[in-house]
A and B are shown apart, each in its own frame.
Chain A
Amino acid sequence: MTEQPIVLEAKGITKNFPGVLANDQVDFDLRKGEIHALLGENGAGKTTLMNILYGLYKPDSGEIKVNGQPVVIHSPKDSIEAGIGMVHQHFMLVPVFTVAENIMLGDETTRYGVLDQKAVVRRVKELSKQYSLEIDPNAIVGQLPVGVQQRVEIIKALYRNAQILILDEPTAVLTPQEADDLFVIMRELTRRGVSIIFITHKLKEVLAIADRITVMRAGRVVGTVDPKDTNEQKLAAMMVGREVILKVEKKPAQPGKQVLEVEGLSVHDWRGLETVRGVTFQVRAGEILGIAGVQGNGQTELVETLTGLRPSAGGKIRFSGQDMTGKSPRLLTETGMAHIPEDRQRHGLVLSYPVADNLVLNTYYKQPFGVRGIMQPAAIDANARKLIQDFDIRTPSPYVNVGKLSGGNQQKVIVARELSHEINLLIANQPTRGLDVGSIEYIHQEIVAMRDRGLGVLLVSAELDEIMALSDRIAVMYRGQIVVTVDANKVTREQLGLWMAGAHPEE
């Protein structure tokens, strides 16, 4: 593969953001038909580099060559013309548009000024056949599962004849199966001469798919290696800059009495479709129940209902002995339920509020923070300083707006708040999504510590590794139902993957 010509080359790219040197003299090249993985922690500068290549940012210095020709990329338009396509980590799709509309947007074909939907649909059908990417051009994007939306993004790039494809954290939102499918697709693409930059922080995947691996840290390129002569440990070390423990140490669980019993619970989503169908399970004190499953199989709705944010359409929820079906979030919190929400910025935090206020977001009205309806700044301040200490939240002061903190620290704020008051059940939904290795380690340790302190923990995650690493028991959710509940150390990764994909346990 090495004799292949270089299609994309970036030299000495430097990009300065107020306060941060995001890219510092970064060199990077991509050969025709290869998959070049760009590995690094969040904030290592991977995405910045790619946004520069895609014309979303202007570099302070450095030059970019496509097929040997130096190019100036001021806007995505330029990079699209240069044959570069990008699939962003947060999809750039208009939810209310159809697949076809999303794909044609910005590159529309019209007849007598009227949008030529037919032509687009035809073209999309061709592409999806050609690259075996299943897709219905007339579906509304907002209603498609994440995996499919990602395909739309890829086709969007191909539709513009992209020869260079940038995939930014494409597997972050995918299940192992979906990820494997994606890898097949990526291979297919490279066979057809498309070159791929694959951005990720997941070591397994890199080793599985990449032809070359470039590791970045703190805005600099640490080095480029061949997957054959490296391993997870080495890569991790390069990434983080120190030895990291990839295994979570945990003693065997001592399950106690049941804290949460869910019985035949059904939930409707906003469209009134039954997305959780008669789910039954228990969480006992001192154990971690992991719920594995492809996103969009009802986990979100399940958790929202358990935490009182969404009404149930049937079934029972018993929490610490009493019936809590359809009770308010406040009552649940007061009864000792902690909740780390899936979407931290939308549900977990008020970004325009200082850290201190976010740390009392659900306890502001109680002693000592609120006395007879009056807020108590002193108490709130003390609380903030203590938690910032204990959970080592990196913030210049308790009065910086949470929105200014890094994802990891934002998550720590939530964890700190949720664990700081008297609780006996922790519901953690995608607790480490989009966090760097350091933070992930930290959160994992916290969760295990909670279990050992005798709390019940309900862990919902799309990251199979995480489920495997933390859970004592694992329940697999598929199409709104729990297909099987098994003992964590009596099951293999592959087995779980199959169940998540809908295979039946007895098969």
Chain B
Amino acid sequence: MLVPLLAVLTAVVVGGVVIVAVGGNPFFAYIGLIQGSFGSAKALSETAVWATPYIFAGLAVALAFKGGLFNIGAEGQLAFGAVTAALIGYALPDWLGTDLPAIIHIPLAVGLGALAGALWAAIPGALKAYTGGHEVINTIMMNYIALNLTSFLLNGPMRDPNPIDLSAQTPEIALSARIPPLFEGLRFHWGFILALVVAFLVYILIWKTTLGFEIRTVGSNPDAAQYAGINVKRTIVISMALSGLLAGMAGTIEVTALNYRHELGFSIGYGFDAIAIALLGKTHPLGVVLAAILFGAMRNGATRMQFLTQIPVDVISVIQALILLFVAADAIIRYIYRFKTRGERVVLTRGWGG
């Protein structure tokens, strides 16, 4: 535990040096960062709000890694999930011609949104399993497809008909589809709790269930898996689908618990942050949760930091990169602080997974 802490600390120090280098004051900057992320109830609440999608997306990428798959497509799965959730959120009552109780509407919106994400990821999964089409390419492609698709929907069929609303966005979802905040006046919502629960479930899935065993086995040695009678192709598809399910959740929660609609310019770059978070968390659910909260805190605190010091938010990316660098490459940290190096390395991925 000491090593990761030192890693973060070192990253912060180096980041500080960077700030100094361009004539900023690192202490004001970090004070702002901390105030803005943990300084007050409101700040904490916002940090949780930021962390929520990161947890889901990070888990998505991590789960895929466990299955020996590299899911660069969380971004697209997330967007597709969000659109679906929004659609269910605002349109379902009209279709049924009746209002739904939240107890039914919320699960429907979240569930179907997640399923949409799962579907979006299952496609490259299936292509990988049955045609050998490479998941890295295909998930990237699916990103662009999802992106064009959502732009199309938000500008056309799903656009808010209200003439006053100029932006390309869906109508607001019905009240019955909204996940309520925990406390009045704060945006801190049940989605965060759900994220923690899901993280725990993912842990159980990976380490305690036979399905998890199959996923891990296929991930670490497909030949042995096949020899042991595991249906490798099916498992690959399932791993991707589950990964997409989680990514989809990230999108749906943003819609149902926070924005109450899907709009362009939402969830920019989550998919790629998710990769960083999964790697930072060493693909372990607990690690992912911590990494996600760290990233969320920094993104959230950035506002206050900029407000106090006018230091551009980009510096956050620099620090995040450094943290990932030092945590993932703890060999460096051990080298700097003269710790003795561990015997074996954690192998997160298997190159291109063939």
Contact = CB atoms under 8 A, between A and B. Distances in A.
Given A364-B210, A374-B208, A375-B210, A347 B224 contact: yes
Given A350-B220, A353-B220, A329 B209 contact: no
Contacts of B347: 352
Contacts of B229: 328-330, 333, 362
Contacts of A333: 229
B48 to A, nearest CB: 31
Contacts of A347: 223-224, 227
Nearest to B343: A18
Contact of B227 (A18, A329, A375): A329
Interface residues of A, number: 26
Contacts, number: 60
A421 to B, nearest CB: 12
A182 interface: no
A309 interface: yes
Nearest to B227: A347
Interface in A1-52: 18
A252 interface: no
A361 B209 contact: no
Contact of A374 (B209, B220, B228): B209
B210 A329 contact: no
Interface residues of B, number: 20
Interface string B63-105: 0000000000000000000000000000000000000000000
A348 interface: yes
B227 to A, nearest CB: 4
A365 B213 CA distance: 9
B342 to A, nearest CB: 13
A497 to B, nearest CB: 32
Contacts of A18: 343
Contact of B224 (A350, A364, A370): A350
Interface in A400-432: none
B221 interface: yes
B217 interface: yes
Nearest to A353: B220
B227 A341 contact: yes
B210 A373 contact: yes
A350 B350 CA distance: 14
B217 A350 contact: yes
Q: Which of B211, B223, B225, B343 has the most CB of A within 10 A?
A: B223
Interface in A361-396: 361-362, 364-365, 370, 373-375
A346 B209 contact: no
Nearest to B212: A375
A351 B211 CA distance: 19
Contacts of B341: none
A346 B226 CA distance: 11
A348 B220 contact: no
A374 B217 contact: no
A422 to B, nearest CB: 15
B221 A351 contact: yes
A330 B231 CA distance: 9
A309 B226 CA distance: 7
Interface in A168-223: none
Contacts of A375: 208-210, 212-213
Contacts of B228: 329, 361-362
Q: Which of B211, B213, B224 has the most CB of A within 10 A?
A: B224
Contacts of A291: none
Contacts of B227: 307, 309, 329, 339, 341, 347-348, 362
A365 B210 contact: yes
A152 interface: no
A349 interface: yes
A353 B216 CA distance: 10
B226 A329 contact: yes
A492 B230 CA distance: 43
Interface in A63-114: none
Interface in B224-273: 224-231
Contacts of B211: 373
A350 B209 contact: no
Interface in A418-451: none
A389 B143 CA distance: 53
A328 to B, nearest CB: 7
Interface string A330-360: 1001000001010000111111110001000
Given A357-B213, A370-B210, 19 more contacts: A328-B229, A329-B226, A329-B228, A339-B227, A346-B223, A347-B223, A349-B221, A349-B224, A350-B217, A352-B221, A353-B220, A361-B217, A362-B227, A364-B210, A373-B209, A373-B211, A375-B210, A375-B212, A375-B213
10 contacts: A328-B229, A348-B227, A349-B224, A350-B224, A352-B220, A361-B228, A364-B210, A373-B209, A374-B210, A375-B208
Interface of B: 208-213, 217, 220-221, 223-231, 343, 347
Sort A-B residue pairs by CB-CB distance and give the 5 closest, nearest first.
Answer: A330-B229, A362-B228, A329-B229, A370-B210, A347-B227
